[in-house]
């Protein structure tokens, strides 16, 4: 099975949708909900994992409960559009647990970061002591999340 969405049939889509809601579901229950017996359901899940459609399983944590409830989005512009600048920046980003996501974007900035810290003071220290010290950053612009209107990791399954 390829990770091309055209190779995923309606049963696979039901499996994926259900696993996105709760990946801790037991195979017996999953099979029942998608209309399969347990063995074929298990084989399909394994095939989706082997194909890379299912990349892994995680526990979603409550940020405030673990001291990481402050959320900010940071736009980063590099000094130059050169490979060494991007590689240096990306290597530094990969080493920081506070950075939940880093995407290369089009527009006025080169990267968008999603950063979680304990509070605004911890974020300020991260910004001053870590982010702005990465060689090659021209400037940053931060937007602070006031509240989360929608937060999901579930992808739309066509």
Give the residue among 105, 25, 10, 31 at the shortest CA–CA distance from 57: 25
- C-alpha pair distances (Å), 101 with each of 39, 72, 150: 36, 11, 17
- C-alpha pair distances (Å), 80 with each of 25, 75, 142: 48, 15, 20
CATH topology of domain 5-50: Arc Repressor Mutant, subunit A (1.10.10)
pLDDT in tens, 101-145: 999 999 999 999 999 999 999 999 999 999 999 999 999 999 999
Residue range(s) in the chain whose domain bears CATH number 3.30.70.920? 64-144
Please tell me the predicted confidence (pLDDT) of residue 3: 45
pLDDT in tens, 25-56: 999 999 999 999 999 999 999 999 999 999 99
pTM given for the model: 0.87
What tokens appear for 73 in the block?
Answer: 């989005």
**Under a CB-based contact definition with an 8 Å cutoff, are residues 89 and 136 in contact?**
yes
Residue tagged 């647990």 (tokens): 97
């Amino acid at each position: 099975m390829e990770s091309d969405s055209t190779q995923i049939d309606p049963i696979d889509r039901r499996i994926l949708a259900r696993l996105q809601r709760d990946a801790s579901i037991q195979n017996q229950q999953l099979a029942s909900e998608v209309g399969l017996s347990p063995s074929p359901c298990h084989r399909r899940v394994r095939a989706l994992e082997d194909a890379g459609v299912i990349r892994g399983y995680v526990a979603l944590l409550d940020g405030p409960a673990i001291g990481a409830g402050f959320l900010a989005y940071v736009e980063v512009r590099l000094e130059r559009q050169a490979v060494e600048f991007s590689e240096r920046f990306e290597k530094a980003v990969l080493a920081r647990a506070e950075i939940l996501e880093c995407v290369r974007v089009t527009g006025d900035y080169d990267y968008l970061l999603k950063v979680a810290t304990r509070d605004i003071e911890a974020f300020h220290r991260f910004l001053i002591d870590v982010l702005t010290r990465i060689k090659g950053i021209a400037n940053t612009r931060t937007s602070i999340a006031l509240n989360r209107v929608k937060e999901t990791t579930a992808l739309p399954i066509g």
